[in-house]
Amino acid sequence: MMELPHRIMIGQDVLRLLGKFIEMPRSAGIVVASGLNVQQRVREVVAASLEGRVSWVDVKFSDMKNVRSVMRASREAKCIIGLGGGKSVDVGKLAASKLNLPFFSVPTSASHDGIASPFASIRGTEKHYSIKSKPPLGILADVDVIAAAPPRLFSAGCGDLVAKLTAVKDWQLGHEADGEYYGEYAANLAMMSGRLIIDNSKRMGRCDTSAVRDLVEALISTGVAAGIAGSSRPCSGSEHLFSHALDVISPGNGLHGEKCGIGTILAANLQGLDWRAIRGALKNVKAPTTAAEIGVSDGQIVEAIVRASDIRPERYTILSKVRLTSRTARALATETGII
């Protein structure tokens, strides 16, 4: 079953149109899940656009506690808006899915593809990876607001995009090894988004409004690819498993997209892809390419490589095919310059 966003608005100075965009009756209650920092930036324009029909829920972490808080506040609501970065969007998305309410994604940064996908990354569950939810009914992305976010978030979004190159390769491996469904269209859509960074990294590295718009459009496209595939396969492979392993081993260090970018360098080497071009593109967009840059030790990188395939053992990736020991993992990380 394909579940896709129904409408998308991307442009400059469009946040003020949020009330019209969601098309809710004037009497409808609206819950906005958002962090305090984001609220300080855009609360006035959002409240004016929604004509005061809004209950704000402060999202501090992307965990089940915050999901439940949004759910409690939404008992009488007609829709939920996830306004902010990844944690607010994911928390709002899962809360809306559990309550069967319309959900609208309003990103204020472009750090990963969760803004459009039917998956949510939530801590405090038995899984150390994204869980199935529902895609947003609509996505409103104000390029001016996103361009004003810290540049590090932009670089992280670029890291999450290049990850599609190795994720699709892993998906192909799963099809060849286990007969798993492989969708050529969804794979090509994800690959096209990943190539955007490789082919245009110097231009994207300027992080201007044109680059921000391209990044947002590409991140939305990869979320749509996951919706078409009915799984996260086009977007998440061994590089994401590496990132999730680091979440367990060294929590709080490095952004999701930053860790996925480093994981992509490692996975590309094992897959026989041009890992040097990937590393160069990440450097051009000012994304980290070493352990030190995300505050983890060499040993933690090695441990994450070895443990990555155990995060989701049912998902076949290059790490299922090439079982690495601590010695070979260290050699891989050294060869690619990660450590």
CATH at 84: 3.40.50.1970
What's the domain count of the chain?
2
pLDDT band at residue 20 under the 50/70/90 scheme:
very high
Q: Does residue 287 sit in the same domain as residue 266? A: yes
Helix (H) / strand (E) containing 54 = strand 54-58
Nearest to 38 by CA among 91, 109, 110: 109
Q: Does residue 15 sit in the same domain as residue 86? A: yes
pLDDT band at residue 27 under the 50/70/90 scheme:
confident
Residue 72 CB coordination number (10 Å): 11
**pLDDT per residue as tens digits for the range 35-57:** 999 999 999 999 999 998 899 99
pLDDT band at residue 126 under the 50/70/90 scheme:
low
Question: Average pLDDT in the 285-310 region?
Answer: 98
Q: Does residue 128 sit in the same domain as residue 239? A: no
How far apart CA 216 and CA 31 sit, in angstroms, is: 24
30: helix, coil or strand?
strand
Q: What are phi and psi of 60, to 5 degrees?
A: -95, -35
pLDDT band at residue 25 under the 50/70/90 scheme:
confident
**Percent of the chain with pLDDT strictly greater than 70:** 98
Question: Residue 1: inside a domain, yes or no?
Answer: no
Q: Does residue 139 sit in the same domain as residue 155? A: no
Question: Average pLDDT in the 135-143 region?
Answer: 96
Question: Average pLDDT in the 227-249 region?
Answer: 95
Task: Reply yes or no on whether the pLDDT at 142 is more than 90.
Answer: yes
Residue 78, CA atoms < 13 Å, CB-side half-sphere: 11
Question: Average pLDDT in the 172-179 region?
Answer: 96
Q: What is the pLDDT of residue 170?
A: 98
Nearest to 101 by CA among 64, 138, 52, 47: 138
Question: Residue 69: inside a domain, yes or no?
Answer: yes
How far apart CA 99 and CA 82 sit, in angstroms, is: 14
How far apart CA 42 and CA 8 sit, in angstroms, is: 20
Q: Does residue 274 sit in the same domain as residue 243? A: yes
**pLDDT per residue as tens digits for the range 67-107:** 999 999 999 999 999 999 989 999 999 999 999 999 999 99
Q: What is the pLDDT of residue 121?
A: 86
Q: Does residue 165 sit in the same domain as residue 213? A: yes
Q: Which two tokens stand for residue 327?
A: 């010695």
